[in-house]
Amino acid sequence: MPTAYTADQIRTAERALMARLPDGTLMDRAAAGLAAVCAGLLGKVYGTRVLLLIGSGDNGGDALYAGARLAGRGARVEAVLAGAKTHEAGLEAFRRAGGTIAGPDALDQADLIVDGLVGIGATGALREPYARLAEAANAAPGLVVAVDVPSGVDASTGQVAGAAVAAQVTVTMGARKTGLLVDPGASHVGELELIDIGLGPYLPDPDVVSLSHHDVYGLLKRPMGESDKYRRGVLGVAAGSDRYTGAAVLAVGGALRAGAGMVRYVGPGEPVTQVRARWPEAVITELSEPSIDEVGRVQAWVLGPGLGTGDWAHELAARVLASDVPVLIDADALTLVAGDRALLRRTAPVLITPHAGELSRLLGADRAAIEAGRLEHARRAAAELGVTVLLKGSTTVVATRDLPVRVNGTGTAWLATGGTGDVLSGVAGALLAQGLDCFDAGSCGAYLHGLAGRIAADDAPLTAADVAEAVPAAIRMLRGASRSPR
């Protein structure tokens, strides 16, 4: 399971490791790894032009030592010294190897630009001249390799407060940093290369984790010989209204494709007609009153897509939430809960699946602040509301109390289209009904949904129905990856 850490966690581990090693060993390991990645990108190192952007700390030191190694292999290496001071020993090694100092104009001639401005020691938005150099590097024609963290990205949170380097490759030292996995930071990273500097034994419990194919395949339930549809999990779906019918069709579709043993759909006349036409597999209860008394036993509910937010919807939500099984709350039901927090007073578990706008209503926080600080707000919602939170968006994160947040690594920008959230609630709901807890159902649901999105899109537009359709292919892909040697 890939793990990531805050800057403070990394520093503490580095101190413990450094105490056991001769001075300079870690930086030497870091620089060797960085130089090897740069050499791989350059192909033939001899005769190429490399430009280092050097800040005042050890991040610049890494870059200078790596630059010295590349100069030793015949590259023409220049450094722009951006800080009031420079890592002395690194600069000396760089000069000894034939490296020279240049002005920012040299950026345009470089085949490869190494961003050694700041790493885990940065605080706040990049100051000048760093900010200007970061933007010039992004505009220059050469490949950009970030050392440890793209400068301008907060290593611990992924927040980007101003200008930031957008790298093609980020070479990170010792362990992944949380900010490399969470947007907006994650979108500045490019390919992520992890250099082993021996930090492993000194690392604490991770700040965040991201699941792999193998992890998700291991968490999913598979039908056994004695399974029947009831044992495979019955999901109730309370969704749709006479005004919004599509959401119900998509949520039921997501649930069926993700392997629910049975889906019991409840709703008013219009969506019932649509669901019946599209999904003859669903068992349907048409509601004239907002009640679930006539619905048979279910192991979990999905509540909310297209439900509406009037009195009828409120009453149905109250009835579903009064049940004693896990409930996934999405879309309109999140609006209902934001207006009436008492609905959340229940003993069985709750998984909420908001996007930033829905979470802003639940927390009374600014939407832009949530987009900028996804982790912090997902954690806060889990703590304040006592629920598991799946915060949707460019990086989906799943938070629950007292466990490292799970950051979803699948997905594609093509998923940002109407109805995909309804499919996700069906997929995660099916996993809840199969007996996964809210945290596993949310994180595996997001993972499968993202993977299905990639399969469905294949670099072209998709519809929400395509995503539901691709869920079985996503599950097969997990199986294939889990079988092959790792």
Residues that bind ligand NAX (CB under 6 A): 14, 18, 26-27, 30, 55-60, 62, 118-127, 130, 147-148, 173, 197
Burial of 83 (0-12, 13-18, 19+ CB in 10 A): middle
CB of 175 to ligand NAX, least distance (A): 10
Which of the listed partners (K ion, ligand NAX, none) does 115 bind, with a CB threshold of 5 to 8 Å by partner kind?
K ion
H or E segment to which residue 338 belongs: helix 331-339
Q: Cβ distance 398 to 445 under 8 Å? A: no
CB of 396 to K ion, least distance (A): 26
Which of the listed partners (K ion, ligand NAX, none) does 14 bind, with a CB threshold of 5 to 8 Å by partner kind?
ligand NAX
The residue (of 72 and 121) whose beta carbon lies closer to ligand NAX is 121
Which of the listed partners (K ion, ligand NAX, none) does 123 bind, with a CB threshold of 5 to 8 Å by partner kind?
ligand NAX
CB of 14 to ligand NAX, least distance (A): 4
Ligand-binding site membership of 148 (annotated): yes
DSSP E strands in 82-142: the ranges are: 100-101, 112-116
Q: For K ion, what does the binding mask look like between residues 113 and 132, x meaning CB under 5 A?
A: --x-----------------
DSSP 126: P
A 10 A CB-CB count for 200 gives: 11
Long-range contacts of 271-278 (CB under 8 A, 24+ apart): 271/239, 271/240, 271/241, 271/242, 271/244, 271/245, 271/247, 271/306, 272/240, 273/245, 274/240, 274/245, 274/246, 274/248, 274/249, 275/240, 275/248, 275/249, 278/249, 278/252, 278/253
Work out the angle at residue 344's Cα, subtended by the Cα atoms of residues 408 and 297, and round it to the nearest 5 degrees. Answer: 85
Of 28, 81, 89, nearest in space to 55 by CA: 81
Largest CA distance in the chain: 84
CB of 118 to K ion, least distance (A): 6
Q: What's the CA gap between 265 and 237, in Å, rounded?
A: 5
Which of the listed partners (ligand NAX, K ion, none) does 183 bind, with a CB threshold of 5 to 8 Å by partner kind?
none
Ligand-binding site membership of 142 (annotated): no
Supply 119's token pair.
Answer: 């790493």
The residue (of 146 and 462) whose beta carbon lies closer to K ion is 146
Q: Interface residues for K ion in 133-162 (CB under 5 A)?
A: 146-147, 151
Ligand-binding site membership of 62 (annotated): yes
Ligand-binding site membership of 422 (annotated): yes
Ligand-binding site membership of 79 (annotated): no
CB of 371 to K ion, least distance (A): 23
The residue (of 133 and 334) whose beta carbon lies closer to K ion is 133
330 binds K ion (CB under 5 A): no
CB of 56 to ligand NAX, least distance (A): 4
DSSP E strands in 104-142: the ranges are: 112-116
Which of the listed partners (ligand NAX, K ion, none) does 33 bind, with a CB threshold of 5 to 8 Å by partner kind?
none
The residue (of 59 and 309) whose beta carbon lies closer to ligand NAX is 59
Q: What's the CA gap between 7 and 5, in Å, rounded?
A: 7
The residue (of 170 and 245) whose beta carbon lies closer to ligand NAX is 170
Partnered with residue 80 across adjacent β-strands are: 53
Residues 34, 39, 40, 42: what is their CA dihedral angle, to the nearest 10 degrees? 130
Which of the listed partners (ligand NAX, K ion, none) does 124 bind, with a CB threshold of 5 to 8 Å by partner kind?
ligand NAX
The residue (of 164 and 423) whose beta carbon lies closer to ligand NAX is 164
Ligand-binding site membership of 120 (annotated): yes
Ligand-binding site membership of 400 (annotated): no
Ligand-binding site membership of 125 (annotated): yes
Count of positions on this chain that bind K ion (CB under 5 A): 4
CB of 22 to ligand NAX, least distance (A): 12
The residue (of 62 and 440) whose beta carbon lies closer to ligand NAX is 62
The residue (of 170 and 360) whose beta carbon lies closer to ligand NAX is 170
Ligand-binding site membership of 98 (annotated): no
Ligand-binding site membership of 121 (annotated): yes
Q: What's the CA gap between 354 and 351, in Å, rounded?
A: 10
Q: What's the CA gap between 397 and 149, in Å, rounded?
A: 20
Residue nearest to K ion (CB): 151
Of 223, 181, 187, 171, nearest in space to 206 by CA: 181
CB of 424 to ligand NAX, least distance (A): 36
A 10 A CB-CB count for 399 gives: 28
Ligand-binding site membership of 417 (annotated): no
Q: Interface residues for K ion in 304-323 (CB under 5 A)?
A: none
Q: Cβ distance 398 to 431 under 8 Å? A: no
Query: How distant, in Å, are the alpha carbons of 235, 264, 287, 348 from that of 296?
Result: 10, 8, 14, 18
Q: Cβ distance 261 to 226 under 8 Å? A: no
CB of 186 to K ion, least distance (A): 15
Ligand-binding site membership of 419 (annotated): no
Going by the annotation, the residues of the binding site are 58-62, 115, 119-125, 130, 148, 151, 247, 306, 355, 392-396, 421-422
Going by the annotation, the residues of the binding site for K(+) are 59, 115, 151
Q: Which residues bind K ion (CB under 5 A)?
A: 115, 146-147, 151
Going by the annotation, the residues of the binding site for AMP are 392-396, 421
